[in-house]
Amino acid sequence: MSQKRKPIQISSIKELQRIGRDPNYPLDGYYELVQDIDASETINWYNGTGFRSIGTLSYPFKGKFDGKGHKIIGLYIKNNYDENKLSASGLFVTIDSVAEIKNVVIENATLSDEFGYIGTLVGDNEGTIRNCYSINCSISGCYNAGSLVGSNYGTVACCYSTGTVSGSVNVGGLAGDNYGTLSNCYNTCWVSGRLDVGGLSGRNFGTIINSYNTGSVSGGRYVGGLVGENLNIISNCYNTGSVSGRKIVGSLVGENYDIISNCYNQESVYGEKNTGELVGELTSGEIINSYNIGSIFYSWVHR
């Protein structure tokens, strides 16, 4: 009969940095935080580039990580590159489909990346993230920038984010883009970008359910209170954050190709061209049992 693996306890930022770099802290290990961690010293690490994200795109995290509700405070990351000079930034670069991260709080973090795949928790997620929170964090990237996850191919459930997120393409309050599932989550971040900008996700190829946005969203083209560009299912969601964009702007979705059901908006929308009460442009798909009670203004206001 196999025994349950005993978790490796993490009590400091230096121990956290050992994961994947020390044979005693393997990428397939089971970890748990035993106290809040002050990560503010990372702003001075590695010539000002800060904490080196756990794992690489070639060698993802494959273990379990339980924050036990503890906080990682003041994390700083700038331009994290792996061994192939590929860029992805977060506490973890990427997590595998077998990996799980839960009960982690990241507070007052500052992350910036001149390229893509950036989120406070994970740059590229293929696993399960549950009960994790990004609080008062500042995220700045180019593409696939989200407060919690840069790009999601797995499951993000029962999570929320506050702070600010800015980028160029695929910018979202929770995830830059979503190919997996976002459920029972919410965002209050101020979100801004150029193309495919949304309060929950910049672009959606997966499923977004039972989630909402209250943060202001501002962008250039394909801008929505929930999603900038939707190519799959959004259900049981709502927006109460103001939405502002130049072209193809909607209170819920900028451009829609699939199904939006049981959703609503109750805030103002500002746009110059292709501005709609629920969607800016209904290219295809359906809008079912959804409504708007916010005001629509056919002018662009940067917020």
Whether 214 is covered by a domain: the verdict is yes
Whether 302 is covered by a domain: the verdict is no
Whether 2 is covered by a domain: the verdict is no
| Model pLDDT for residues 179-220, shown as the tens digit of each residue | 999 999 999 999 999 999 999 999 999 999 999 999 999 999
Q: How confident is the model at residue 82 (pLDDT cuts 50, 70, 90)?
A: low
pLDDT at 1: 39
CATH number at residue 62: 2.160.20.110
User: Cα torsion for 188, 190, 196, 198, to the nearest 10°?
Assistant: 20
Q: How confident is the model over 225-254, as a mean pLDDT?
A: 97
Overall size of the chain counted in residues:
303
Whether 92 is covered by a domain: the verdict is yes
Number of domains in the chain: 1
Whether 35 is covered by a domain: the verdict is yes
Give alpha helix (H) positions in the chain. 13-18
pLDDT at 297: 80
Cα diameter, the chain: 67
pLDDT at 273: 87
Whether 54 is covered by a domain: the verdict is yes
C-beta atoms surrounding 153 within 10 Å: 19
| Model pLDDT for residues 255-288, shown as the tens digit of each residue | 999 999 999 999 999 998 889 889 999 988 999 9
pLDDT at 83: 56
Which residues touch 6 (CB under 8 Å, ≥6 apart)? 30
Phi, psi (rounded to 5 degrees) for 147: -65, -35
C-beta atoms surrounding 35 within 10 Å: 12
Q: How confident is the model at residue 114 (pLDDT cuts 50, 70, 90)?
A: confident
297's tokens: 């203004």
Q: Are 71 and 106 in contact (CB under 8 A)?
A: yes
| Block residue for tokens 């919690």 | 148
Q: Is the pLDDT of residue 85 over 80?
A: no
Calculate the alpha carbon distances from 59 to 123, 144, 289 in Å. 13, 20, 44
Q: Are 231 and 206 in contact (CB under 8 A)?
A: no
Q: Is the pLDDT of residue 298 over 90?
A: no
Least confident of 76-85, 200-209, 243-252: 76-85
The residue that leads in pLDDT, 87 or 39, is 39
Amino acid in position 183 = S
Whether 3 is covered by a domain: the verdict is no
Q: How confident is the model at residue 300 (pLDDT cuts 50, 70, 90)?
A: low
pTM of the model: 0.93
Coil, strand, or helix at residue 152?
A: strand
30-33 β-sheet, strand order: 8-10, 30-33, 64-66, 100-102, 128-130, 155-157, 181-183, 207-209, 233-235, 259-261, 286-288
Residue 180 belongs to what domain range?
8-297
Whether 64 is covered by a domain: the verdict is yes
pLDDT at 86: 57
